[in-house]
Amino acid sequence: MTKQTKVKVGLFGIGLQAYWDQFSGLKERLTGYINIVAKSIENFDAEIVNLGLIDTPEKAFEAGTKFKCEDVDILFLYVSTYALSATVLPVVKKANVPVIVLNLSPEAAIDYVNFNQLNNRTAMTGEWLANCSSCSIPEIANVFNRSKIPFFQITGMLNNDPHVWQEMKDWIDAARVVRIMYHNRLGIMGNYYGGMMDIYTDLTLQCATFGGHMEVIEIDELSHLREQVTSNEIANKILEIENAFEVQADCSPTELNRAAQTAVALDKLVLKYQLGSLAYYHKGTGNDANENTATSIILGNSLLTGKNIPVAGEYEIKNAQAMKIMDSFGSGGSFTEYYAMDYNDDVVLMGHDGPCHPGIAEGKIKVKPLQVYHGKVGSGLSVEMSVSYGPVTLLSVVETGNGSLKLLVAEGESVPGAILEIGNTNSRYRFSIGARNFVEAWNKEGPAHHCAIGQGNIASKIKKLGQILKITTVQVC
């Protein structure tokens, strides 16, 4: 899995070979700039392929082949001084991965007084060339556009500019999520909730957009695995449940045992198919074994979600993808939908029955017995939690009417206050544009009624993910 999730970054700078004999020390100085960038990339938990200064078209062809052979996920091009676009195009065209153009001046400004006191125009020109990273970027942009190569830019300073390094980290994080999604194995178990037309999706389109593999699984297999679980395995799983959750006093030992048995079977299923996420739903009628499995599945799926294997109920494959994206960014990604509007406090209540994300809970999650799963068959244990207070991001993978996917995102805040204590996940969310405007703007984009919610405001990263995947991203707030 490390090989699958460790992002590989290509880095190169450009220069003009004719300068090196003319301006003493310039090449070494520019190489030093590139090495500063390389050190920073290493701090972002990325493997780096640093090819240094490319200063001739011949080296550009070699560099392109090298990056392609190394299978880099993303390229950073450091325009360190004026250089020919002919030293860029062969590299980027051959590598054929997203390219980020770094327009980074060494400092905030040239020291004009000392510069003009050099009294040597050759030395002055060399000093200027060490500070003119912006010079050839219009030339490069022109060639990229005419070559139909999309590119992105980070403009700022090499030193003392947090914006630059945050942007670079965001791009690397987005590239990492692209890699994770490409290798992800999404289990789809059961069937759609009948009539819930908004959640139906094109599986081939999902794979064409995000990569990954869809593993179609029968719930019968999970029921069979469940029958093979030992009493010792159940006892160990109960200890794990009691450690992870706050099991309420009215939860019967029989129900806890039933949930633990299913949780062990889920672990075995995930291991067998090497799943990185799961979407499931089973009506649970006409087969006692499958009904027993389907009605005892919530705790196990919540544990899996907390272990970076997000599980979406109601066979919501699009939302399993959204949850995996959020989880891969390190933000969680809990299954949610509108619950109610609170116009007094100008917040939207949101949550869902079924699995939760233990990693982003406010306090310890409560396990409660439900006498009925609303709209579903049976009864059993459920989880109740709120998302931890503070900044949050909502993400929906939206299937459009034109045969494509888009990402819908909003930033808000999870705030304290009264929730519905009904044994489900539910929270109160405040948005900068207000509750009324948020729901109208969100609904206008036509998402399914489910979305994924995670900690932190990460819309910037999600937008970069969309740019790498070449799909539209819409942010409503």
- The pLDDT tens digits for 102-131 are 999 999 898 989 888 888 999 888 888 889
Structure confidence at residue 373 (pLDDT): 67
Is the CB of residue 398 less than 8 Å from the CB of residue 445? yes
Is the confidence at residue 18, as pLDDT, over 70?
A: yes
Mean pLDDT calculated for residue range 340-365: 91
Within 8 A by CB and 6+ apart from 313, the residues are 279, 280, 281, 301, 335, 352, 353, 354, 355
Helix runs in 160-296, H state only:
162-183, 203-210, 219-227, 231-244, 253-273, 288-294
C-beta separation of 334 from 316 below 8 A = no
For 25, 63, 157, 232, 453, the CA distances from 78, given in Å and listed in that order, are 18, 14, 12, 58, 35
The CATH number of whichever domain residue 268 belongs to comes to 3.20.14
Q: Strand, helix or coil at 396?
A: strand
CB 396 within 8 A of CB 319: yes
Q: Are residues 330 and 378 in the same domain?
A: yes
Q: Calculate ∠ Cα 107-113-115, nearest 5°.
A: 65
Domain's final residue, options 155, 181, 207? 181
Number of Cβ atoms within 10 Å of the Cβ of 212: 19
Please check whether residues 259 and 367 belong to one and the same domain: yes
Residues 217 and 97 in one domain: no
Higher pLDDT among residues 109 and 437, named by residue: 437
Residue 3: predicted pLDDT: 54
Q: Which of 4-13, 259-268, 281-290, 372-381 has the highest mean pLDDT?
A: 259-268
DSSP for 115-133 reads HHTS--HHHHHHHHHTT-T
Residues 173 and 321 in one domain: no
> Quick check: 396 and 307 in contact, CB under 8 A?
no
Q: Is the pLDDT of residue 325 over 50?
A: yes
Does pLDDT of 345 surpass 90? Answer: yes
Query: Looking at 117, 147, 181, which one is the last position of a domain?
Result: 181
CA 455 from centroid of its chain's CA atoms: 12
**Residue 224 burial (CB count, 10 A):** 14
Is residue 377 scored above 70 in pLDDT?
no
Residue 305 clears pLDDT 70, i.e. is over it: yes
pTM of this prediction?
Answer: 0.94
Alpha-carbon span 104 to 81, nearest angstrom: 10
**pLDDT, mean over the chain:** 93
- Quick one: tokens of 212? 């990954």
Nearest-CA neighbor of 225 among 274, 267, 166? Answer: 267
Tell me, yes or no, whether 197 and 81 share the same domain.
Answer: no
Host domain of residue 146: 2-181
Phi, psi dihedrals of residue 396, rounded to the nearest 5°? -130, 135
Q: Clarify whether residues 230 and 340 are in a common domain.
A: yes
Radius of gyration from C-alpha coordinates of the chain: 26
The stretch 14-24 carries a mean pLDDT of 93
User: Which of 181, 213, 246 delimits the end of a domain?
Assistant: 181
> Do 352 and 463 lie in a common domain?
yes
> Is residue 1's pLDDT more than 50?
no
Pair 144, 255 in one domain:
no
Which structure tokens are listed for 421? 């204590």
Tell whether 198 and 155 lie within a shared domain.
no
* Residue 380: per-residue pLDDT: 81
Which three-class secondary structure state does DSSP give residue 296? coil
Range of weakest confidence among 147-151, 351-355, 460-464: 351-355
398 and 423 part of one domain: yes
The residue assigned the tokens 């004719």 is 18
- Residue 348 bridge partners (DSSP): 341, 429
pLDDT tens profile 225-244: 999 999 999 999 999 999 99
Q: Two tokens at 464?
A: 């970069």
CB–CB of 310/186 below 8 Å?
no
Q: Are residues 352 and 305 in the same domain?
A: yes
pLDDT for res 375: 60
Question: What is the C-alpha to C-alpha distance for residues 297 and 187, in angstroms, rounded to an integer?
Answer: 15
Calpha distance 80→105 (Å, rounded): 8
Smallest Cα–Cα separation from 88: which of 160, 125, 35, 137? 137
Average pLDDT of span 95-107: 96
Give the span between the Cα atoms of 385 and 379, in whole angstroms.
Answer: 19
Beta carbons of 436 and 315 less than 8 angstroms apart: no
Q: Which two tokens stand for residue 54?
A: 């490319």
Is the model's pLDDT at 98 over the cut of 70? Answer: yes
Q: What is the mean pLDDT of residues 63-84?
A: 96
Closest CA to 131 of 150, 109, 112: 109
Q: Report how far residue 80's alpha carbon sits from residue 402's, in angstroms, rounded to the nearest whole number.
A: 42
Over 80: is that where the pLDDT of 428 sits?
yes
Pairing of strands 185-190, 277-281: parallel
Q: For 174-195, what is each residue's pLDDT tens digit?
A: 999 999 999 999 999 998 988 8
Which range has the top average pLDDT, 30-39, 190-199, 278-287, 349-358? Answer: 30-39
As for how many domains the chain has, the answer is: 2
Q: Which residue has the tokens 């701090």?
A: 43
- Asked whether the predicted pLDDT for residue 321 surpasses 90, the reply is yes
Determine what percent of the chain is predicted with pLDDT higher than 70: 97
Task: For residue 114, give the CATH number of its domain.
Answer: 3.40.50.10940
Q: Does residue 428 share a domain with residue 355?
A: yes
